[in-house]
Amino acid sequence: MSHTAIAASAAATAATAATPASSVHALEHTLFFVLIQLVIIILVARLAGQAARRFGQPRAVGEMIAGLLLGPSLLGHLFPEASDFLFKSVPSLPINIISQIGLILLMFQIGMDFEFGHLTDRRNRKAVSWISVLSIGLPFALGIGVGVWSAPYLAPDVPLLPYCLFVGTALSITAVPILGRIMAEFGLTRTHVGAIAISAAAVNDVVGWLLLAVISSLSIGEFSLAHTLTQLGYLALYTVVCLFVVRPLLRKLMKKYEPSQHRMSGDMMAIMFGLIFISGMATFKIGIFAIFGGFMMGVLVHDNQKFVEAWKRSVGDFVMVFFLPIFFTYTGLRTNIAGLDTIALWTWCSIFLAAATIGKLGGAYLGARLGGLDRSESSTIGALMNTRALMELIVLNIGFDLGFIPRDVFTMLVIMAIATTIMTGPALRNRLPKMGHMIPVGVDA
């Protein structure tokens, strides 16, 4: 063997030997920065949540604002080098994957929180029906109108139909989980108005998610009728399997592994995680995103109160404390308020906010009045239905990832989601005393 060949062989051997060490070092390097990001996200979100509570806002409002503070809107604007060091030293894929896993679990918990039992009360059905129809229909129509109006200025390179549909859906969503937390803070969970509001919001979000699934299918399918019908057919088959195969199976499993002392067994927890992720894979393959799979699994178990309570005690707090701030920060890192640097852009932002608020408040108020409620009750329900927060951000991230919501519009709608959620607390403090409702003190939402 020649000296050249020997040298080449030695170099190859050295490279091969060095590869595992280099790989481990790269992994440790990535892990180091991911851990830094997680520590900062969790601590800042917790502090911001505590600050929000002091201003009478739900903790989630502070967590959303924390996401903005850590993104280009503040940290990246004032200290770009520090921001790049913290969030750009390694690829964003690991934190994004954690965010998406957390989002699937969040959607599972959102599905569990849906309560349709109030719909069995005849006194509520009329009001719930009217509120649901008008609190979806009016903001959706206004969203379509604003979408058509704004498209030449804000989204000239985006297909008009999916852009308008995503804007309409974004304006028509209500955040059931945040709404539930606000209702608990204000002592509304067992009231007549609270029952109607949470039922209408549940119907609102079911319709909203179905609408989003259809819009996403249309968008991904590039508006091919055959492709879209195939996806809808698979979606219908998936729903039938979930309702008539998976749900009975789950009921048997929940009886076999019944919670003990409000705690879930490890076996049942492992089975549930597996089913949630399998469901997510199924909806991904259908083409309507993995988060819908998590949501469907939550809906399937929502009526088993023992399971729901055990899950919340065993897993729920971890999901809310760990995963929720990661998702909010992930959204904040994509939101640059400083990018709205002209009067025209801020004018459009105000138009989106006005359309969202008028659509939700007006639609819910009118629906409540047609459903037989008085003015104070109707305005209270309008304020509750205007809460968007988490659900809105999920819709926006899907639209942004698909390329149908431009960055500036994404920023405007994030601001709208936070602003409409912030409005809810002060509006309730103004309206509830006029209903003769005493607001409890010290309840953490």
Task: Please say whether the beta carbons of 410 and 160 come within 8 A.
Answer: no
Residue written as tokens 């939101």? 335
Please state, in angstroms and as integers, the Cα–Cα distance from residue 436 to each residue in 98, 160, 197, 271, 430, following that order. Answer: 45, 47, 18, 47, 11
Q: Provide the token pair at 180.
A: 């539930």
- pLDDT at position 96 over 90: no
- Tell me if 226 is assigned to some domain: yes
Q: CB count, 10 Å around CB of 304?
A: 18
CATH value at residue 163: 1.20.1530.20
User: Which residue in 366, 359, 295 sits closest to 129, CA to CA?
Assistant: 366
pLDDT tens readout for residues 157-173: 988 888 999 999 889 88
- pLDDT at position 277 over 90: yes
pLDDT tens readout for residues 120-143: 667 677 888 899 899 999 999 999
- Tell me if 7 is assigned to some domain: no
- pLDDT at position 36 over 60: yes
Q: Of 174-183, 195-204, 271-280, give the lowest mean pLDDT range.
A: 174-183
Q: Would you give the DSSP letter of residue 320? A: I
- The DSSP line for 134-194 is HHHHHHHHHHHHHHHHHHHHH-TTS-HHHHHHHHHHHHH---HHHHHHHHHHTT-TTSHHH
In the chain, the number of structural domains is: 1
Q: Provide the token pair at 32.
A: 């180091």
- Tell me if 441 is assigned to some domain: no
pTM above the 0.85 mark?
no
**φ, ψ at 38 (rounded to 5°):** -65, -45
What's residue 412's pLDDT? 94
Q: Can you tell me the distance from the alpha carbon of 312 to that of 297, in angstroms, rounded to the nearest whole number? A: 15
Q: Can you tell me the distance from the alpha carbon of 143 to that of 171, in angstroms, rounded to the nearest whole number? A: 6
Instruction: Determine what percent of the chain falls in helix, strand and coil, rounding each to the nearest 5.
Output: 80, 0, 20
- Tell me if 445 is assigned to some domain: no
- Collapsing DSSP to helix, strand or coil, 382 comes out as helix
- Tell me if 236 is assigned to some domain: yes
- Collapsing DSSP to helix, strand or coil, 260 comes out as strand
Q: Provide the token pair at 407.
A: 């960055």
Give the best-scoring range by mean pLDDT among 103-117, 211-225, 355-369, 423-437.
Answer: 355-369
What's residue 120's pLDDT? 63
- Tell me if 370 is assigned to some domain: yes
- pLDDT at position 8 over 60: no
- Tell me if 278 is assigned to some domain: yes
Res. 189 pLDDT band, cuts 50 70 90: low
What average pLDDT is seen over the chain? 84
Task: Please say whether the beta carbons of 167 and 143 come within 8 A.
Answer: yes
Q: CB count, 10 Å around CB of 251?
A: 15
User: Which residue in 364, 424, 394 sits closest to 182, CA to CA?
Assistant: 424
Q: Of 9-23, 26-40, 424-438, give the lowest mean pLDDT range.
A: 9-23
Please state, in angstroms and as integers, the Cα–Cα distance from residue 320 to each residue in 112, 268, 366, following that order. Answer: 14, 20, 34
Boundaries of domain holding 103 = 93-435
Q: Can you tell me the distance from the alpha carbon of 36 to that of 44, in angstroms, rounded to the nearest whole number? A: 12
**φ, ψ at 260 (rounded to 5°):** -115, 125
Query: Which residues in 432-441 are b (16+ Cβ under 10 Å) and which e?
Result: beebebeeee
Maximum pairwise Cα distance, the chain: 97
- Tell me if 442 is assigned to some domain: no
Task: Please say whether the beta carbons of 64 and 417 come within 8 A.
Answer: yes
- pLDDT at position 426 over 50: yes
Q: Would you give the DSSP letter of residue 439? A: P
**pLDDT-above-70 percentage for the chain:** 89
Q: Would you give the DSSP letter of residue 118? A: G
Residue written as tokens 């850590």? 70
Task: Please say whether the beta carbons of 415 and 389 come within 8 A.
Answer: no
Q: Can you tell me the distance from the alpha carbon of 405 to that of 418, in angstroms, rounded to the nearest whole number? A: 18
| Mean pLDDT, residues 288-303 taken together | 85
What's residue 119's pLDDT? 58
Task: Please say whether the beta carbons of 49 and 173 come within 8 A.
Answer: no
